[in-house]
Copies of this chain bind each other. A is one copy, B any other.
């Protein structure tokens, strides 16, 4: 049995419930190593009892599941044999009284149906297992980041006056796919004033001289994600842009220094919100508005996962965690700057997994 599954099993034995129903796709992928299920629709569940585990999916996937997933018994769901019927049968067989469910993933409708067959439902998630990455996971994320760096370097050569945001985004996707990888989300490319929208929807806007270019994209390799943002200037940047850029860069560096400072008593228990605060306060101290998003987020099977580096976060950063540091400044009507890197927290210092230069680039 795989080590991840053993950990879930171990937790079950020592918890108040005697089985767990896992419904979120990243957790299913984490526990089964099978990554074909869509996140947009419910296509599978896994059910872990104390002495056995099942994967419940429909006929579209059953062949693939049989071939690729070990450790789990397949239960094929169909119109005739619904998920509800399957759940009822398993619950009865294993005498399930208390069932752990993912309350942040299961819908109200699903919950109502499950409640009919099991009264005692508790929140359970495998998310906490994923927060510390093992060596192989870090290596995989590093490969994704490294292809991200290559992609950024390649894409700089494709930037020319008149190119559309969408065309540049398409070049990014194509380069990544030619390298046998996938994008971890649709690339964000924002020219000029569009860069003032932190999550701009890439458009057919064409590049003009003196435009800011903000590029935010990620690579996915073997289900693991990278994420990086660089902002470059097309032409000679004015003083306003230079000041914004330097402020964001300094804010990022200050956040990283919090992670690197060996002498602070925080070293072994760095509060994620402290890292957020340092970057956020620095930007405010330079008379800019506060960052309209968190300063960072964990990354792995999901682009955004624990830990969260935000003002209200309760997460404590520990070695083996992989996350982004991405302060930004956005001036409506002018433009924005964001610099985003992925780091892994190691002893004694954090290590960058994205390695593209962070210095101001003018094209």
Binding site for B on A (CB under 8 A): 35-36, 38-41, 58-64, 78-80, 101, 103-109, 111-112, 123, 166, 170, 173-174, 177-178, 180, 182, 185-186, 196-201, 204, 292-294, 302, 304, 310-312, 330, 332
In the complex, the answer to whether A200 meets B64 with C-beta atoms within 8 Å is yes
In the complex, the answer to whether A108 meets B106 with C-beta atoms within 8 Å is yes
Our pick among B101, B108, B332 for the contact of A103 (Cβ within 8 Å) is B108
In the complex, the answer to whether A170 meets B180 with C-beta atoms within 8 Å is no
In the complex, the answer to whether A59 meets B166 with C-beta atoms within 8 Å is no
Q: Which residues of B contact A40 (CB under 8 A)?
A: 39-40, 302
Interchain CA distance A108-B124 in the complex, whole Å? 12
Q: Which residues of B contact A197 (CB under 8 A)?
A: 60-61, 63-64
Q: Which residues of B contact A173 (CB under 8 A)?
A: 173, 177
| Contact status of A63 and B332, CB under 8 A, knowing A36-B199, A292-B58, A310-B79 | yes
| Nearest residue, chain B, Cβ from A177 | B170
In the complex, the answer to whether B107 meets A59 with C-beta atoms within 8 Å is no
Q: Which residues of B contact A332 (CB under 8 A)?
A: 63
Q: Which residues of B contact A60 (CB under 8 A)?
A: 197-199, 292-293
| Nearest residue, chain B, Cβ from A170 | B177
Interchain CA distance A10-B160 in the complex, whole Å? 51
In the complex, the answer to whether A311 meets B79 with C-beta atoms within 8 Å is yes
Q: Can you list 30 A-B contacts with CB-CB less than 8 angstroms, sorted by A residue number?
A: A39-B39, A40-B302, A58-B292, A58-B293, A59-B198, A59-B293, A60-B293, A61-B198, A61-B199, A63-B196, A63-B332, A64-B197, A64-B201, A79-B312, A80-B311, A101-B108, A103-B108, A103-B109, A103-B112, A105-B107, A106-B107, A106-B108, A108-B108, A111-B111, A166-B180, A170-B174, A170-B177, A170-B178, A173-B177, A174-B174
Interchain CA distance A170-B171 in the complex, whole Å? 12
Known: A35-B201, A62-B292. 10 other contacts (CB 8 A): A36-B201, A40-B40, A59-B292, A63-B197, A64-B199, A64-B201, A106-B107, A109-B123, A111-B111, A182-B186
Q: Which residues of B contact A109 (CB under 8 A)?
A: 103-104, 123
Q: Which residues of B contact A200 (CB under 8 A)?
A: 64
Q: Which residues of B contact A170 (CB under 8 A)?
A: 174, 177-178
Q: Which of A40, A112, A185 has the most CB of B within 10 A?
A: A40
Q: Which of A40, A63, A174, A312 has the most CB of B within 10 A?
A: A63
Interchain CA distance A106-B330 in the complex, whole Å? 31
Q: Which residues of B contact A302 (CB under 8 A)?
A: 40
State the 3 A-B residue pairs at the shortest beta-carbon distance, nearest first: A59-B292, A103-B108, A60-B198
In the complex, the answer to whether B41 meets A304 with C-beta atoms within 8 Å is yes
Interchain CA distance A103-B123 in the complex, whole Å? 18
| Nearest residue, chain B, Cβ from A273 | B79
Interchain CA distance A111-B104 in the complex, whole Å? 10
Interchain CA distance A64-B174 in the complex, whole Å? 28
In the complex, the answer to whether A204 meets B180 with C-beta atoms within 8 Å is yes
Q: Which residues of B contact A204 (CB under 8 A)?
A: 180
Q: Which residues of B contact A78 (CB under 8 A)?
A: 292
Q: Which residues of B contact A105 (CB under 8 A)?
A: 107
Give the Cβ gap from A282 to chain B, nearest Cβ, in Å. 17
Give the Cβ gap from A354 to chain B, nearest Cβ, in Å. 21
Give the Cβ gap from A76 to chain B, nearest Cβ, in Å. 8
Interchain CA distance A41-B204 in the complex, whole Å? 25
Q: Which residues of B contact A111 (CB under 8 A)?
A: 108, 111
